[in-house]
Amino acid sequence: MNTKLENKIKEDSVLVEASGIDEILNEEEYTNAVVNGDILLPVYDWNKMIAQVQWKGNLNTIYVGDNFVCGKGLLRLENHIVLTEILSPGFAQAHLTTKVHAINLIAEYKQYHLFDELNLNEYLIELV
């Protein structure tokens, strides 16, 4: 990636909306910038943006050779759980998810350490 483009992306950890991404990056560059934390993903609560977060790949990540293909992760944002996803090259998103959905994802991907990291142990006990 050239220096001018890197500066445009990293300028004050600017949020780059997906709709304008094709103007400055191709799909591979965009995906790499998201994975590296250079582009923050907006988190919406209905129509209001409540935060910008870095992508997490703590549930799963899939590479083909050296090329990142897709991945998912969870993070805690105050009282919320956020699911971050790169579904295909050039498309990343972050959105609020429920504790139950987060628990199901953790179990599905067998990333049980995330129960502690996301403070979900007590909620899990309540469900049982």
- Indicate the pTM of the whole model: 0.78
- With CA atoms as reference, report the closest residue to 58 among 98, 113, 116: 113
* Helix ranges restricted to H, the chain: 3-10, 27-35, 99-108, 113-117, 121-127
Mean pLDDT comparison of 14-23, 84-93, 99-108, highest-scoring range: 99-108
Residue 17 has pLDDT above 80, yes or no: no
- With CA atoms as reference, report the closest residue to 55 among 37, 68, 69, 67: 37
Residue 1 has pLDDT above 90, yes or no: no
Q: Which 8-state DSSP code applies to residue 19?
A: G
Burial of 2 (0-12, 13-18, 19+ CB in 10 A): exposed
Residue-wise pLDDT for 36-69, tens only, equals 999 999 999 888 999 999 999 999 999 888 888 8
Mean pLDDT for the chain overall = 84
